[in-house]
Amino acid sequence: GAVVSQHPSWVICKSGTSVKIECRSLDFQATTMFWYRQFPKQSLMLMATSNEGSKATYEQGVEKDKFLINHASLTLSTLTVTSAHPEDSSFYICSATGQGMDQPQHFGDGTRLSIL
Amino acid sequence: SQQGEEDPQALSIQEGENATMNCSYKTSINNLQWYRQNSGRGLVHLILIRSNEREKHSGRLRVTLDTSKKSSSLLITASRAADTASYFCATALTRYSTLTFGKGIMLLVSP
């Protein structure tokens, strides 16, 4: 089956640090990748959608300059949390879909981000 | 507001029993999907059902969709302890649109 690798799985860093999270599709070409944020025992909230080679589409309320998304190839998208603060602490999950209609999303294992 | 709302919020059963989880949504959809999430992990796609389909099976999973009631159910038969996880329904308004996830159901299957 389709595999999505997300790295790192856990990050602890000081306030003000920028953190980069990588999302890779290992065995398929991901034309679209999604970035979600999930708070404990809550649903996934879509942050942005990125298509290879174009700018990401951010959901309302998500700061573009805070959460930088790059989708430079069909197998890699990155999310950079710039100047992270404690309120940015959360579980971030990426997913990817291939070409075609009604494609399910294949998820990475998530990144637990803790800002001290 | 959430497009999908699951119920119950939590379900506790014994191994071997069947688990039924429900999802209701508010607007017309193109398809509805069910995902499973183990604690601290990403989501795993279980099954996709299109708006013109009424029932789909996959192994021990059975999903129904009633577009007139805007609801779906996920049935897991002969549950196992390994089925313990959170289950989410997600709706897609069009073939190419993003997914909107419900709040999820925590299923606990005791040995």
pLDDT digits over A9-21, tens only?
Answer: 999 999 999 999 9
A40 pLDDT tier (thresholds 50, 70, 90): confident
Q: What's the gap in Å between the CA of A82 and the closest CA on chain B?
A: 23
The mean pLDDT value for B14-43 works out to: 94
CB contact at 8 A, A11 and A34: no
Contact A75, A2 (CB under 8 A): no
Of A42, A46, A91, the CB nearest to B98: A46
Which residues between 59 and 88 in chain B have a beta carbon less than 8 angstroms from any beta carbon of chain A? 88
Q: Which of A101, A109, A112 is closest, CB to CB, to B96?
A: A101
CB atoms within 10 A of CB B15: 14
Number of Cβ pairs < 8 A linking chain A and chain B? 53
Whole-number average pLDDT of chain B:
92
Does A108 lie at the interface with B, CB-CB under 8 angstroms?
Answer: yes
Query: What is the structure's pLDDT at A99?
Result: 74
More confident residue, B4 or B80: B80
Give residue A24's identity as a one-letter amino acid code: R
Better-predicted residue by pLDDT, A113 or A100: A113
Nearest CB to A93 within list B42, B48, B96:
B42
pLDDT digits (tens, 9 = 90+) for B57-83: 999 999 999 999 999 999 999 999 999
Query: Would residue B40 be called left, alpha or beta, if left means φ above 0 and alpha means ψ between -120 and 50 degrees?
Result: left
pLDDT at A63 over 60: yes
- Non-local (6+) Cβ contacts of A43 within 8 A are B2, B88, B101, B102, B103, B104
